Amino acid sequence: MTAVTACRTCGTEPLENARFCHGCGSPVAAADTHAEYKQVTVLFADVVHSMSIAAVVGTERLREIMTELVNRAMAVVQRYGATVDQFTGDGIMAVFGAPVALEDHALRACLAALEIHGKSRIWPPTSIGGMVSASASG
């Protein structure tokens, strides 16, 4: 007797020996698939007081500043082997240790956070009063 599993996409019970779900067309996963667990470290980097900055410089200039800061932060985390998982309104979320496992994921995330913070303090070349806050947890 084999265990009947539902389609992971739509919940329909697949037909016997089916390779694809007859409800939605998604591939039917093999019964021996299992979850893979990894330890990861997540880094969040965002701009502190971004709305205050917007009030001073205006929305168009804020967009330019944010684009440059996000691009710089993204380059840093990718250099340390992270995957950028999400773009927030004024920052990024990066994962160290997935999909590729990294033994020193926490150290890499901390080094990336320090570098992002350092780079944000010297840019932009105006005194608008904001700074990037970067923290890692794993």
Q: What is the pLDDT of residues 45-87, one digit of tens each?
A: 988 888 888 888 888 888 888 888 889 999 999 999 999 998 8
Dump pLDDT digits (tens) for 93-111.
Answer: 999 998 888 999 999 999 9
Please tell me whether residues 62 and 5 are part of one structural domain: no
Domain that holds residue 112: 41-137
Question: What integer pLDDT is reported at residue 124 of this predicted model?
Answer: 53
Stretch (H or E) spanning 20: none
Total domains, the chain: 2
Residue 19 banded pLDDT, cuts 50, 70, 90: confident
On whether the pTM is more than 0.85, the answer is no
Residue pair 40/96 in contact (Cβ under 8 Å)? The answer is yes
Closest of 95, 59, 54, 53 to residue 74, by C-alpha: 95
Please tell me whether residues 29 and 54 are part of one structural domain: no
Residue pair 113/135 in contact (Cβ under 8 Å)? The answer is yes
CA distances from 112 to 10, 12, 23, 68, 108 (A): 39, 44, 45, 17, 6
Question: What integer pLDDT is reported at residue 33 of this predicted model?
Answer: 59
Please tell me whether residues 93 and 76 are part of one structural domain: yes
Instruction: Say yes or no to pLDDT of 6 above 90.
Output: no
Average pLDDT across the chain, whole number: 81
Question: What integer pLDDT is reported at residue 93 of this predicted model?
Answer: 94
Please tell me whether residues 58 and 120 are part of one structural domain: yes
Please tell me whether residues 45 and 23 are part of one structural domain: no
Closest of 126, 124, 137 to residue 71, by C-alpha: 124
Higher pLDDT, 26 or 1: 26
Please tell me whether residues 70 and 6 are part of one structural domain: no
